[in-house]
Amino acid sequence: MKYAFWLTALVLCFASCDKTKIENIKVPASTGNTLKVDGIAGSEQGSAAANSVFIDFSKDKQGTLTRSGWDLAFYCGSDFRVLINNTTAAMAKVTNKTDINAVNSSDVAGVSFELDIANPSPEAFAMIDDIDGDLTKTAIPVVSSTEAENKVIVIHRGTAGSVAARDLIKIRLQRNVSGGYTLQYAPIDATTFNTIEIAKNEDYNFKYWSFEQGEVTGEPRKSDWDIMWTMAIYKTPLGNDFVAYVFSDLVAINYLNGTMAVEKEYATAAEATTAFNNYTRAMAEAETFVSERWKIGSRWRKTAAPGVTDPGVIKTRFYIVKDSQGNYYRLKFLSFTSEDGGERGRPELRYELLQ
């Protein structure tokens, strides 16, 4: 009996030690890979790809998030900020009421929840999150610790990229005693509402919420992605100004977790190819990197349109990405559409670790 007891204890000890060793093993960063982005979820057109795709260079993996599968993203940092879904072109209208049951369709009568490029208005810009990702400029105001300051907000969930129109939702947000969020929500004309608590998790930039599904798996842990490929609200020139516009095939960097990038541009595709192949870590260490959300953005490709020559990947550009662990990767896009031998919605890219 004593032998069996000590044998069991010994086995458990070894198991515990092995587990600790396994958990503490540091996996070497990937030296690089070529991959096709999984933007297409089904039979949709590539220009309306249903997925946002998160790519982690050092771990050689990508993960998808259905654009229409979430509505709110709750910031897990020190501030209390909530994003709306700019990948569906969602918009938010802040009312002057604090009683969610008192808000109905009449409170947004005459409000246009559309991004009209031909007739842009200041009101439209006030109803979307800051395009560049400034968390102090969200469409939903900061969730205040003073309850009376938190107004009811009407959410238009967006239809970008062939997403079906859905009913307006009204919400009210509070901070809860656990340091997270309390969300009240209901259809616009309802006289009762649901209440849910959302806890922060410091391993993530945001926690994601869907009005149909509740809490959903959104972007990966903040240490598990470097770039995101998606459709989203961006900006385009109109006369002497810029207006908000929905773009396909945008590439964002994980700027909130320290990912940075720099663009390299050359006169010809041949020069860019030579420069890419000869680019070294020492050269990267001498660069001035920026943490701009859309540093890559739409600048890596050209879409077919009147007056556009050579649609597809812009071969005269590539990018250097510095991840949050201090790894440097050279990144170039290989194909984008049928015009350059690719498939829209499944662009191909190549990244290589600089050592």
Percent of the chain with pLDDT over 90: 84
Backbone phi and psi for residue 132, each to the nearest 5 degrees, phi listed first: -85, 0
Burial track 280-291 (b if 16+ CB lie within 10 A, e otherwise) = eeeebeeeebeb
- Model pTM? 0.91
Burial track 19-43 (b if 16+ CB lie within 10 A, e otherwise) = eeeeeeeeeebbeeeebbbbbbeee
pLDDT band at 8 (very low <50, low <70, confident <90, very high): very low
Closest alpha carbon to 326 in 262, 263, 281, 273: 281
pLDDT band at 18 (very low <50, low <70, confident <90, very high): low
CA distances from 31 to 44, 252, 272, 311, 329 (A): 33, 22, 21, 30, 9
Place of tokens 């969200």: 138
Rounded CA-CA distance 49/220 in Å is 19
Q: Higher confidence at residue 225 or residue 8?
A: 225
Mean pLDDT computed over 187-191 = 98
Q: Any long-range contacts for 5-10 (C-beta under 8 Å, 24+ apart)?
A: none
Contact 336, 71 (CB under 8 A): no
pLDDT on residue 14: 42
Contact 290, 132 (CB under 8 A): no
Q: Degrees (nearest 5) of the Cα angle 183, 189, 191?
A: 65
- Under 8 Å CB-to-CB from 354, ≥6 apart: which residues? 279, 280, 281, 284, 320, 328, 329, 330
DSSP tag of 142? P
Residues in the chain: 355
Q: Higher confidence at residue 6 or residue 223?
A: 223
pLDDT tens-digit map of 312-344? 999 999 999 999 999 999 999 999 999 999 999
What are the structure tokens assigned to 145, written together? 């610790």
User: Is the pLDDT confidence value at 2 over 90?
Assistant: no
Lowest mean pLDDT among 22-26, 140-144, 163-167: 22-26
Place of tokens 């009210």: 172
pLDDT tens-digit map of 105-136? 999 999 999 887 777 777 788 899 999 999 99
pLDDT band at 236 (very low <50, low <70, confident <90, very high): confident
Rounded CA-CA distance 4/1 in Å is 5
Mean pLDDT computed over 53-70 = 98
AA letter at 246: V
Parse the chain into domains and list their residue ranges.
Answer: 32-66+222-353, 71-208
What are the structure tokens assigned to 153, written together? 């907000």
